[in-house]
Amino acid sequence: MDASTLLALRDPAGIPFYPVVFQALYILTWALHAAFVFLSLGAMGLSIYGTFKQKIDENWKILTPHLIQTGKISVSILIVLGVAPLLFTQVIYDPNWYVANTLSGMWIFSFIYILVLGYIMYYWYYFANKKTTGGGKLIGIISFSILIVCGILMHSFAVTSIMPNDWMNMYAPNGVIDNSGWTFNIKTIRLIFLLSLSIPIVGIFLQNYSRFLSTREDFNKDFIKYTTKIGKRISIVGLLFSAVMFVTWMVQLGYIIHPVSISIIVGVLILIYMVYQNNNSYITTLVLLLVALLISGLREVIRYDIMSKLGYNVYDYPVNLEIPSLVMFLLTFLILGGFGVAWLLTMAWKVGKTKGVFDGSKDVAVTKLGNYTLGIMIIWMVVYFAWGMTILFNNIL
Amino acid sequence: MDLIGQFPLFYFPEYGSAWMMGVTGTIHILASHTSVGAALLFAFLAYKAYKEDRVDLYPYMKRYGMFLLIFSYVIGSITGPGIWFTATAASPRGIGALIHNFVWVWATEWVFFFYEVIGVFVLVYFMDKIDKKTHLKLTFSFALASVGTLALIIGIISFMMWPGTDVYYATGSASDAFFGTNTFPHMFLRIGFMIMLSGVIGLFISSAMKKENLSLSHELTKKMGYISMLGGFLVVFFFMWYMGTLPENAHAVFNVTKDSVIQSRIILTIVFSLYFLLAIFKPQFISKPLAGIMIFVILIGGIWPGEKLRESMRKPYVAGQYMYSNQIVSRDVDGKGIKSELPILAEKGMLKVNPFIPKNLRVITPENKLKVGKILTRIACSNCHSLEKTGKYRPLQTRMQGMDKDGIKGILYAIGAGAFPYMPTLQLPDEEYDAIAEYLESLNY
């Protein structure tokens, strides 16, 4: 695919801000999205193991429903977090994403319904296990498998999007056009590496879980010790396996001595040490997020290199600055998002730490954050209507 | 080399890829509108429960919340991005136009969406774990966040119909594109519908509570009847305002089917008014199967034809009255530096400027003419029309039945000259028209 074609495929409206910002937002939000993808798959997979031990082991009796719940909430969060990188990639890499989507149109359409099916079955699994200890094994396995298929499909779209030299051959092999939308591509090592990250992430989650519950009197100390122990084991095995897959992938691509991949390897070594020591799993999680950011960054480096070699440089995307809606986003993100999410998370943290009912009305931080959030939302609505009416009056009178 | 930014064509036989968008869109609208309406209903119920110390309302809210979690936040939150997914396959440049105009608006909506998704879990799972006052605040913030998502998406989908004034074309500003003349009427029309839907779903849940608490079930059924009635009234009222803010081409399409649309809407209004009156005056007659059937009726009889009509009225455009459904830029937008692609297509033809035409089809020969005609027809027509003889979605078969090549060519020239306001004024060189006409003739409609 030559540069003139790739450049022609860019949107004629240009982009409303500097490309590097969208690139950074993409890297950041993909890392967050991926963290919840791996947490959900890890928690789900481990919970299925738990359903087999739930009846005979007290520890798994407590842990399994918590893992199922973690998986359930994580899927919702990964979906909402996934919207952001999906948005930002379409801003600066629209040629790539749209070609991949049109070539795989049937998979794209099917993906949504496969995901709906998998997630609804997951709720079924949740209710079945809630009703009967050890229940819902088969449904859980089917649901887990369906969600893995979704992951494989997303992998296929991403891989197709960075194969511009093969697009024409995928669309019209030997000059015969294929409009069916069944294009499917897979890069096995890359896929296994990414999926394998579910293992260390659920391990580190277990370390956090045991640390968080260690202050709750209604949780047995032996249970806390047990979850700490399996958290450490799972994390170390998972990190080692992921590291091997990562190195294989990098050698395959010729990126093994790239500064970002070296940073990732160093990050993994630090993580192994931290997980082994388990002094403070919350700090380990911060390092894990940093490594996730580096992995996200590396994906972008690979894509950027492929595209710039073909003459498509995202930094040359024409810019049509759009300030008012950018200001709206920044203020909403920082102020409303900041206070609102801080309120919800503070409350969730305190409810989790409390045995019985948590009285938020007597908690200064929760009360203030709640009042601020409501106040900001009301002001937001007022500004929205004032802004809209001003524009309309200007344009129609 | 002169190229236009057309992508590979994804083609779904018999129905067309736009139809796939319609299916996902309809399901999403049912789920997402329910979620916004239900958020408002939640706030109302939580206020009542708190003020009147009605602890018996909380189990209903919990049950409604669980339903909402599965229905709206599983189906709704997946089909939302699902519309994007399907749209990128069916109409990549259409969705690209929206994203490149409104990326920050969408990013802002994402903040509200994120708050909503975490909020709904907190709201449902903490109902028994936090004090009532804090819970009440949560329901208020959840309702505001839900309305916020509507306030942000509404300007984008209104722009799909048209920007409302010509100012956008000169400034290229997202604000001018977002706050068009039909943004607010569209918003209130949908709020009415959301309130009505929340009541319709609420009736399903209240009718399912009969065994546990008959008097509460009847009380809530009555309330849902009133709420649905209010929502329904708002829908009818704001629909009139909304219709008055649509562009001429929308009215041209609407006029074609006006009588049947109005007739079906009147029937629907009468049926649902009777249903809501039944809920108010005879709540004991509202059963779970009836409430379930009515949800289905609203999906098939209300949302699906409504969305189909909105999509039809947009024709021939897919976004901002500058992007045609067949992925061609049809006018200049000076504020963005966008140039119409119609002149270059008229001069050089689709085969020369579409980058995904394979080399062996770039020059028409007697051997490849039908193949060229086939791909040109698919590119130019298939976003809106089924091409097969048995096609289901605005089939060409009914429009070109029994016509010969010259007759078909005559229609193509008339379309290119702008004879039909709802068709794209796409002019192509004679040899390309000829290939299209020959291909269509070969289908023996």
Query: What residues of B are in contact with residue A319 (Cβ under 8 Å)?
Result: none
Answer yes or no: do A171 and B356 touch at CB < 8 A: yes
**Of the candidates A167, A58, A157, which has an alpha carbon nearest to the alpha carbon of residue A109?**
A157
pLDDT in tens, A218-228: 888 999 999 99
Per-residue pLDDT, B65:
84
The distance of A281 to chain B (nearest Cα, Å) reads 23
Answer yes or no: do A112 and B24 touch at CB < 8 A: yes
Residues, chain B: 445
Residue B418 inside a domain? The answer is yes
Distance CA A207, CA A224 (A): 9
Query: Same structural domain for residues B35 and B170?
Result: yes
**Residues of A (104-133) whose Cβ lies below 8 Å from B:** 104-106, 108-109, 111-112, 115-116, 119-120, 123
Q: Which of A120, A328, A347 sits opposite B122 (nearest CB)?
A: A347
Q: Which of B111, B128, B130 sits opposite A333 (nearest CB)?
A: B111
pLDDT in tens, B182-220: 999 999 999 999 999 989 988 998 998 888 889 989 999
Distance CA B72, CA B220 (A): 21
Average pLDDT over residues A232-236: 97
Can you say whether the dihedral through the CA atoms of A49, A55, A61, A65 is positive or negative?
Answer: positive
DSSP string across B110-161: HHHHHHHHHHHHHHHHTTTTB-HHHHHHHHHHHHHHHHHHHHHHHHHHHHHH
Residue B3 inside a domain? The answer is no
| Nearest residue in chain A measured CA to CA from B4 | A8
Per-residue pLDDT, A36:
97
Query: Same structural domain for residues B300 and B152?
Result: yes
For residues B392 and A89, the model is more confident at A89
Ramachandran angles phi, psi of B424, nearest 5°: -70, 140
Query: What residues of B are in contact with residue A346 (Cβ under 8 Å)?
Result: none
Query: Same structural domain for residues B297 and B355?
Result: no
Residue B335 inside a domain? The answer is no
Distance CA A249, CA A197 (A): 14
Q: Please give the single-letter amino acid code of residue B238.
A: F
Answer yes or no: do A123 and B74 touch at CB < 8 A: yes
Average pLDDT over residues A353-360: 90
Q: Which residues contact B209 (CB under 8 A, 6 or more apart)?
A: B60, B63, B216, B217, B220
Query: Same structural domain for residues B398 and B435?
Result: yes
What percent of chain A is helix, strand and coil (3-state, nearest 5)?
80, 0, 15
Query: Same structural domain for residues B149 and B25?
Result: yes
Q: Which of B131, B151, B175 sits opposite A324 (nearest CB)?
A: B175
Q: Is A322 left (phi over 0), alpha (psi -120 to 50) or beta?
A: beta
Residue B70 confidence (pLDDT) above 90: no
Are the CB atoms for A180 and A102 separated by under 8 Å? no
Query: Same structural domain for residues B212 and B281?
Result: yes
pLDDT in tens, B303-352: 888 888 888 899 999 999 999 999 999 999 999 999 999 999 999 999 99
Are the CB atoms for B260 and B311 separated by under 8 Å? no
**Bridge partners, B157 (sequence order):** none
Residue B333 inside a domain? The answer is no
Q: Which of A175, A181, A374 sits opposite B140 (nearest CB)?
A: A374
Answer yes or no: do A341 and B82 touch at CB < 8 A: no
Answer yes or no: do A91 and B179 touch at CB < 8 A: no
Give me the long-range contacts of B263-269 (CB less than 8 A, separation at least 24). Answer: B264/B301, B264/B305, B268/B301, B268/B302, B269/B232, B269/B236
Distance CA A334, CA B151 (A): 19
Query: What residues of B are in contact with residue A184 (Cβ under 8 Å)?
Result: none
Are the CB atoms for B23 and B400 separated by under 8 Å? no
Least confident of A78-92, B49-63, B88-102, B337-351: B49-63
Distance CA A8, CA A112 (A): 29
DSSP E strands in A56-164: the ranges are: none
Can you say whether the dihedral through the CA atoms of B242, B87, B7, B432 is positive or negative?
Answer: negative
Q: Which structural domain, as residue segments, surrounds residue B418?
A: 344-442
Q: Please give the single-letter amino acid code of residue A35.
A: A
Q: How many pairs of residues across A and B have Cβ atoms under 8 Å apart?
A: 299
Q: Is B418 left (phi over 0), alpha (psi -120 to 50) or beta?
A: left
Cα of first residue to Cα of last residue in chain B, in angstroms, is 38
Query: What residues of B are in contact with residue A103 (Cβ under 8 Å)?
Result: 8, 10
Domain boundary among B289, B324, B359: B324
Query: What residues of A are in contact with residue B108 (Cβ under 8 Å)?
Result: 325, 328-329, 332-333
3-state secondary structure of B160: helix
Query: Same structural domain for residues B290 and B207?
Result: yes
Answer yes or no: do B77 and A167 touch at CB < 8 A: no
3-state secondary structure of B225: helix
Ramachandran angles phi, psi of B324, nearest 5°: -70, 160
Residue B83 confidence (pLDDT) above 80: yes
Percent of chain A with pLDDT over 90: 95
Residue A54 confidence (pLDDT) above 90: yes
Are the CB atoms for B16 and B86 separated by under 8 Å? no
Answer yes or no: do A181 and B86 touch at CB < 8 A: no
Query: Same structural domain for residues B307 and B434?
Result: no
Average pLDDT over residues B69-85: 85
Query: pLDDT category, B1, cuts 50, 70, 90?
Result: low
Query: Same structural domain for residues B191 and B124?
Result: yes
| Nearest residue in chain B measured CA to CA from A380 | B148
Query: What residues of A are in contact with residue B131 (Cβ under 8 Å)?
Result: 357-361
Are the CB atoms for A142 and A57 separated by under 8 Å? no
Average pLDDT over residues A266-272: 97
Residue B95 confidence (pLDDT) above 70: yes
Query: What residues of A are in contact with residue B7 (Cβ under 8 Å)?
Result: 9, 98-99, 102
User: Within a 10 A sphere around the Cβ of B279, how many other Cβ atoms?
Assistant: 31
| Nearest residue in chain A measured CA to CA from B93 | A11
- What's the number of domains chain B is made of? 2
Q: Per residue in A142-151, is it b (16+ CB within 10 Å) or e — as a string? A: bbbebbbbbb
Helices B57-70 & B92-125 angle (0-180, nearest 10):
150
Say whether residue A80 is in contact with chain B using an 8 A CB cutoff.
yes
Answer yes or no: do A112 and B78 touch at CB < 8 A: yes
Answer yes or no: do A324 and B80 touch at CB < 8 A: no
- Mutation target vs A (from B12, B103, B168, B345; most A CBs, 10 A cutoff): B103
Residue B6 inside a domain? The answer is no
Query: What residues of A are in contact with residue B110 (Cβ under 8 Å)?
Result: 80, 83-84, 87
- Mutation target vs A (from B2, B7, B117, B120; most A CBs, 10 A cutoff): B7
3-state secondary structure of B383: coil
Query: What residues of A are in contact with residue B375 (Cβ under 8 Å)?
Result: 177
Can you say whether the dihedral through the CA atoms of B220, B221, B224, B230 is positive or negative?
Answer: negative
CA A267 from chain center: how many Å? 19
Distance CA A64, CA B397 (A): 58
Strands B317-319 and B323-324: antiparallel
Query: Same structural domain for residues B114 and B144?
Result: yes
Q: Which residue has the tokens 């007597």?
A: A362
Q: Is A320 left (phi over 0), alpha (psi -120 to 50) or beta?
A: beta
Answer yes or no: do B99 and A94 touch at CB < 8 A: yes
**Of the candidates B347, B148, B300, B79, which has an alpha carbon nearest to the alpha carbon of residue A116?**
B79
Can you say whether the dihedral through the CA atoms of A168, A169, A174, A178 is positive or negative?
Answer: negative
Query: pLDDT category, A302, cuts 50, 70, 90?
Result: very high
Q: Which residues contact A203 (CB under 8 A, 6 or more apart)?
A: A42, A230, A231, A232, A233, A234, A235, A236, A237, A238, A239, A275
User: Within a 10 A sphere around the Cβ of B5, how many other Cβ atoms?
Assistant: 25
Answer yes or no: do B78 and A4 touch at CB < 8 A: no
Q: Which of A80, A104, A380 sits opposite B117 (nearest CB)?
A: A80
- Mutation target vs B (from A80, A96, A384; most B CBs, 10 A cutoff): A80
Can you say whether the dihedral through the CA atoms of B132, B138, B142, B144 is positive or negative?
Answer: positive
Query: What residues of A are in contact with residue B140 (Cβ under 8 Å)?
Result: 374
Per-residue pLDDT, A152:
98
- Mutation target vs B (from A1, A79, A97, A102; most B CBs, 10 A cutoff): A102
Per-residue pLDDT, A248:
97
Tokens linked to B169? 């074309």
Query: Same structural domain for residues B292 and B223?
Result: yes
Can you say whether the dihedral through the CA atoms of A326, A332, A335, A338 is positive or negative?
Answer: negative
Distance CA B131, CA B142 (A): 17
Helices and strands counted in chain B (H then E): 18, 2
pLDDT in tens, B7-64: 999 999 998 888 888 889 888 988 888 888 888 888 888 898 899 988 888 888 888 8
Least confident of A271-285, B123-137, B318-332, B422-436: B123-137
Percent of chain A with pLDDT over 70: 100
Are the CB atoms for B326 and B380 separated by under 8 Å? yes
Query: Same structural domain for residues B282 and B388?
Result: no
Are the CB atoms for B46 and B61 separated by under 8 Å? yes
Average pLDDT over residues A68-76: 95
Residue B337 inside a domain? The answer is no
Average pLDDT over residues A145-152: 97
Where does residue A209 rank: exposed (0-12), middle (13-18), buried (19+ CB within 10 A)?
buried
Per-residue pLDDT, A266:
97
Residue B5 inside a domain? The answer is no
The distance of A336 to chain B (nearest Cα, Å) reads 8
Are the CB atoms for A203 and A233 separated by under 8 Å? yes
Residue B338 inside a domain? The answer is no
Distance CA B432, CA B377 (A): 10
| Nearest residue in chain A measured CA to CA from B176 | A391
Global pTM exceeds 0.90? yes
